[in-house]
Chains A and B, each alone.
Chain A
């Protein structure tokens, strides 16, 4: 049976719709990926910010400006050099 004109029209219409569907599908997937990427980037920025804040707090808490007054309140003090013992280590081939 010979392909008639209306069949050709139908074929091209379907082909056009398929192409349009593919374009839309690709665009939608790209947008979803972009959103996911953006979410991840935001999450990373947030985590980095949290880490920096934690590091800052740890650094402050570890600083002598904070630790020394607290230690002194508890009756602790910095040792004199006579109170610091550097134990001589044994040679490596012998068990310690």
Chain B
């Protein structure tokens, strides 16, 4: 047995070693592993959460929201926290528009979860219900679901344009719209539930940019509705409409639809053979290279012209035709004969210069370049085929841009869908300016081409049914055989129409294409042309469309309208009604009111209120009318108001 002192010493050493081990272990925990333990402790008590950035809004050119981001909610319910389960279940089921049985079944679990997402309005009454927990979630919202859906596209399931399911402009502009997510740290309890405590923001989320598109909501609706009606009435396979401002290249409306109701962006991505719509480009080459004189005629060959490899026919043959006649009646034979004077490089060069065979550069993903083969790949009939719009595949947007070049005095502009990009602060980051691609033809040649197109809408032209009474159109019809699976399908045609409105100073290029109209005529003159006319009439009657009515008022060609002495006015005034019945019906007679001495606007209102149509000559105050005041004429009669400048009072 050891002595007590020795035993005491042993105990002391043991305690010392234990203390040393404790200190060393403490040092190891604190100094060596301190960071790891601190991180683990932080992870148990705190959580870093992602703060979603608000995605930018897409607007139309007038500021109407097309796609915006809204806060929506998932709803979680803790059944044991509910104060009055019976009443609360009824409230929850009503607000979430769920069957009560579903809610009750959910509440049998420890925690019920309804993914929704539910809108702020739906969950508003639930905010005060104890036991209901709302989890906010930013979600894309389209106020008008069908508005330009093919172009706008949709965000994917992850809320990003680039994710699966995303497409269209939402996908293309994703990096601009998405913004930058932020992050914050929140405190949690042992169970992982967040404390009601202010989050520590590490990085604030930055909202995405707002994008103002060039689309005009009202024109877009007109185009979509006209296309829907045309497809339904003509039992067509589908169709496209493009409206473009030729002075800026801005696309004002673009609609695409298939017969089954699906909308794919075929105006940008799907090609067709334009047929007679391309004849104006052959004419452009002939005029630009001076291969034809205005009075020069070629024989119509009785409507049947035999080439070495093929036979060319005309629907309505004329004995002989000038180039203007050839465009007016859309003669295949005359165009083939005239274009034989062009060498392949010239013909190809002009088509290429108008933008065919290359993407237009519009901001749309997967735009098709179309097809235009270089002369070295041509076969013997290629030149004749190209002159009448075959062996050439184009998209509606390419056609609109090319016709836009004719309207824009020969300068081809890059079409665009984006007008402006604004930072969340409102600062303008990008503003569209017209982007000329190249000069295709001289202004003089462009004016001659517009004159050729004017003839198409005049009496005897193929687009007579598209003519407006007060405004001149320059237009071209095209009816081409349809290619299906690489072959011409028997009895299937594409009816297309391109119009410049008005012909003098075009403000609008309209391209309409109807695929395989089966009910009634398949000719563009009877299908696409009247629909385009209807769209233009609706555009004129609408108040907010992107038409410069001050300029329009000066180009209106009402036969009995006197030219203005000083046509630089700035006060356009549209009188879209009166709601007179069809003029074919017998109209009761009524007295023309006396509007002498009244201002134009007031006089027009008075006459319209009485059921008369109004034509104005001059400006200022009304001097007299014809028929004169007091005469009895049928309702709907056009009353001409003769106005004179008001007397200038001198002091």
Name A residues whose Cβ lies closer than 8 Å to a Cβ of B.
Answer: 30-31, 33-35, 37, 42, 45-46, 48-50, 52-53, 55-56, 59-60, 63-65, 75-92, 94-96
Contact = CB atoms under 8 A, between A and B. Distances in A.
A50 B141 CA distance: 13
Interface string B608-636: 00000111100110000000000000000
A38 to B, nearest CB: 9
B140 to A, nearest CB: 11
Interface stretch (B308-316, B429-437, B597-605): B597-605
Interface centre among A30, A45, A50, A77 (most CB of B within 10 A): A45
Interface of B: 64-65, 68, 70-71, 119-121, 124, 127, 136, 141, 143-144, 196-198, 221-222, 225, 468-471, 536-538, 540-541, 549-550, 552-554, 556, 564, 566-581, 599-601, 604, 613-616, 619-620, 645-646
7 contacts: A34-B196, A42-B127, A60-B144, A81-B537, A86-B549, A89-B571, A94-B646
A86 B570 contact: no
Contacts of A46: 120-121, 124
Nearest to A27: B197
A76 B577 contact: yes
Nearest to B608: A85
A30 B198 contact: yes
Contacts of A33: 198
B469 A81 contact: yes
Contacts of B554: 88
Given A79-B576, A80-B469, A59 B71 contact: no
10 smallest CB-CB distances across A and B, nearest first, come from A89-B569, A49-B120, A89-B571, A86-B553, A45-B71, A34-B198, A82-B469, A56-B143, A81-B468, A46-B120
Contacts of B579: 75-77
Contacts of B71: 45, 48-49
A82 to B, nearest CB: 4
Given A52-B143, A78-B541, A79-B577, A87 B616 contact: yes
A64 B542 CA distance: 11
Given A53-B119, A76-B579, A79-B537, A86 B197 contact: no
A65 B147 CA distance: 12
Given A84-B470, A96-B599, A45 B120 contact: yes
Given A31-B198, A49-B119, A59-B143, A90 B576 contact: no
Interface centre among B143, B196, B221 (most CB of A within 10 A): B143
A53 B571 contact: no
Contacts of A95: 646
Contacts of B538: 78
A12 B179 CA distance: 52
B564 A35 contact: no
Given A53-B119, A64-B221, A87-B572, A82 B68 contact: no
